[in-house]
Amino acid sequence: MALNESGTQKVSSVGLIQNGRNGALTFVKSHDFQGRIGAIPYPQEIPDGQWAEFVHSGYVGTTPESIGAVVYRCKNPDGQQCDWMICWLNKHGDNSRRKVHTEIKETGHYDRDNIWKDVKIALTTRGARHSEAQSGNWSATVDIYAAPINDCDAFAIFQGIIQAN
């Protein structure tokens, strides 16, 4: 387990995002269920064909957790804007409690005040080590793809990709 400067427990999630489509992904918003963005912030724009990363960390408590969501906006093949959401749940301890979930929705879907309750329910009930979403000719996948080094519970790494079918 990792400790921060004050000696408290810390668990971190490293998110890798690949833009496999034509046009940039633009940051819309994020939501922290538990924890906060870490030393590497959410990229504000991810150009076509590029990778980007961020780190989200949870501190303190009897069970440190990194649980969050990020939304990016892009245009679908028909030229319409859509929102792509990735969320994750990384609890200290049992690796089986690590989950990801993804969705592609209409622009503004994640602007509703009560949406984050629905997102967390989807993450906890349908989340898994792999998640897929489709909207028209777009597909998105998110996978927890790397086990922690030496079975350390400090880091979970997940990868999200959005691309045309």
CA pair distance 35, 161, nearest whole angstrom: 23
Domains within the chain, CATH numbers bracketed? 2-164 (2.60.270.20)
List the chain pLDDT tens, one digit each, 165 residues.
444 455 556 788 889 999 887 789 999 999 999 999 988 999 999 999 899 999 998 875 656 888 999 999 998 777 889 999 999 998 876 666 788 999 999 999 999 989 999 999 999 999 888 899 988 878 888 888 765 554 444 567 778 877 766
Burial of 152 (0-12, 13-18, 19+ CB in 10 A): exposed
- Any idea which residue has 């990229």 for tokens? 43
- Residue-wise pLDDT for 11-57, tens only, equals 888 899 998 877 899 999 999 999 999 889 999 999 998 999 999 98
pLDDT for the residue 70 = 97
CA pair distance 123, 128, nearest whole angstrom: 8
| Encoded amino acid at 27, one letter | F
pLDDT for the residue 1 = 43
pTM summary value:
0.88
Widest distance between CA atoms in the chain: 51
Residues 6+ apart with CB under 8 A from 60: 8, 9
Which of 10, 13, 8 has the alpha carbon at shortest distance from 157?
Answer: 13
